[in-house]
Amino acid sequence: MADDAPVDPHGPVRDDEAHRTEARDEHAPGSVRAAGDGRAPDQVAPHPRAGTIDPAARDAEGPVAIGPTAIGPTAIAPTAIAPTAIGTTADGGTADDCIAGDGATRCTARTRLYQDGRLALSGFPVADISEYVGRPGTTVWLDLHDPDHDDLAVLSEEFGLHPLAVEDALHPHQRAKLDRYRSHLFLSAYGLQVDPDTYAAVTGELAVLITPSALITVRKDHGLDLDAVVDRWDANPDLAGQGVGYLLYGLLDVIVDGHFDAVRTLDDAIEDLEDALFADDTATDGVQRRSFELRKTLVRTRRVVLPMREVVNGLMRRDLHVVDETMMPYFQDVYDHVLRATEWTESLRDMVTTILETHLTIQGNQLNEIMKKLTSWAAIIAVPTAITGFFGQNVPFPGSGQPWGFAISLAAIIVMGAVLYVSLKRRHWL
């Protein structure tokens, strides 16, 4: 992934101040506000910025310099934020309290707005994002559940989202990763839960678009508990002044904690399997089935947990300007949990493999014990067979046809069988 994206050769890229001021003052029909006026997406008039740009003006502006501060904060004149009729100024609540009340998007949308380190609005219309985003001290959270292309199209122009980032946000089954674009970052991660009864792994895919003043989450299912994320944000109000870094930390902390809890559940299941391995009343098929189920779950868990190490490590890069000095210890703590979950997952895979190998070894030992017992009893049974076979000859022998001859043969069978049984018992074959 390159650090800098190429400049669009077909037109200049305006700076963030002109971009946000035009969206706020002109209320252009192509902005996010236009999406909430009740018209279908194909009826929205094109934004002036999306039209043809005068080549002379483009040459006058010149190329845009792309540096390490590409997603850093922008300087915009402060404007007071007044609560809307739909938005609320509650200090906390659940994720359902953040559901936006307008129809700017066809999917379910949740919004939150932080101003100067405090929660200012919750559940305000998505169409009002243009008025708030980019202002000094303002941070916006927008969550979209199972959106379509039109839902993200109304946001792409406002936030300058790259088409590839939008495509990855819409298409499911992305691997956990962190991509860097000119004006924003794209993060893909998975929430994880493990059923303690069936050992089945349940994942929830999440795409995150990170801009200097907004955090946009795109969920494709209900696998991630948003209430836990909102509670984590409300539990650390002293960090709200850190902007997007604060929201991103709370989100990643909930995701990684879910990974840790899932790995802990698998560890408990493996310990129970180890105890059942040497139990006399445990069915062999049950141990094998549970072992393979755990191994399959661990493979899926590893695919979710292992890439998070590179994702969190990439976010802590100083040239991205996402994590400042205040938030760095908190991201270090998340990174430590990621490393522990990764190492724990790897060790559990080895433990499951060891359990399978041990189970096969135990089965081999049990088979050897059975063969020893069968061989011992076969040797004991061979004694009377040999004696009766000898006395059953059709030739005369001492005692043939006499009662004392039968008594001698019977005594020989009992004595020799007893001697052989005692000898095998002392050698632990019986």
Assess whether 325 and 376 both reside in one domain.
no
Q: 27 and 148 share a domain? A: yes
- Is there a domain that residue 415 lies in? yes
- pLDDT for res 394: 63
Instruction: Find how far residue 99's CA is from the centre of its chain.
Output: 25
In angstroms, the CA 401 to CA 98 distance is: 106
| CB hemisphere CA count around 45 (13 angstroms) | 7
Q: Are residues 279 and 333 in the same domain?
A: yes
Flag whether 82 is in a domain.
yes
Q: What is the Cα–Cα distance from 49 to 41, expressed in whole angstroms?
A: 17
Domain that holds residue 414: 372-426
**pLDDT tens digits for range 268-286:** 999 988 888 877 665 667 7
Residues 258 and 401 in one domain: no
Residue 8 falls inside a structural domain = no
Q: Could you tell me if residue 11 is inside a domain?
A: no
Whether residue 119 contacts residue 90, with contact meaning beta carbons closer than 8 Å, is answered with yes
159-170 pLDDT tens trace: 888 999 999 999
Tell me the C-alpha distance between 352 and 187, whole Å: 32
Final residue belonging to a domain, choices 310, 327, 354? 354
Predicted TM-score (pTM) of the model is 0.67
Residues 330 and 199 in one domain: yes
Are 162 and 63 contained in the same domain?
yes
Residue 308 has pLDDT above 80, yes or no: yes
Residue with tokens 């760095």: 328
One domain, residues 185 and 224: yes
Residues 64 and 209 in one domain: yes
Kindly state whether residue 6 falls inside one of the protein's structural domains.
Answer: no
The answer to whether position 360 is within a domain reads no
**Band of residue 343 on the pLDDT scale cut at 50, 70, 90:** very high
Same domain, 179 and 242: yes
For the segment 222-270, what is each residue's pLDDT rounded down to a tens digit?
888 888 999 999 998 899 989 999 999 999 999 999 999 999 999 999 9
Same domain for 180 and 152, yes or no, is yes
Domain count for the chain, please give it. 2
pLDDT at residue 92 in the model: 54
Last residue of a domain, one of 324, 354, 384: 354
Domain CATH code at residue 298: 3.30.460.20
pLDDT tens-digit profile of 31-69? Answer: 333 333 433 333 333 333 333 334 333 333 333 333 333
Is residue 174 domain-shared with residue 44, that is, in the same domain? Answer: yes
First-last CA distance in the chain: 69
- Residue 410 tokens read as 């019977």
Per-residue model confidence (pLDDT) at position 372: 85
In a domain, 164, yes or no: yes
Residue 219 belongs to a domain = yes
The pLDDT value recorded for residue 96 is 60
Q: What is the mean pLDDT of residues 317-338?
A: 92
CB of 262 closer than 8 Å to CB of 194? yes
Kindly report which listed range (15-24, 206-215, 329-338) carries the lowest average pLDDT score: 15-24
Cβ-proximal residues to 112 (8 Å cutoff; 6+ apart), any chain: 98, 119, 121, 122, 123, 140, 141, 233
Please say which residue of 354, 387, 412 terminates a domain.
354
Q: What percent of the chain has pLDDT over 70?
A: 71
- Is the same domain home to 190 and 303? yes
Q: What is the DSSP string of 306-351?
A: TTHHHHHHHHT-GGGTSS-TTTHHHHHHHHHHHHHHHHHHHHHHHH
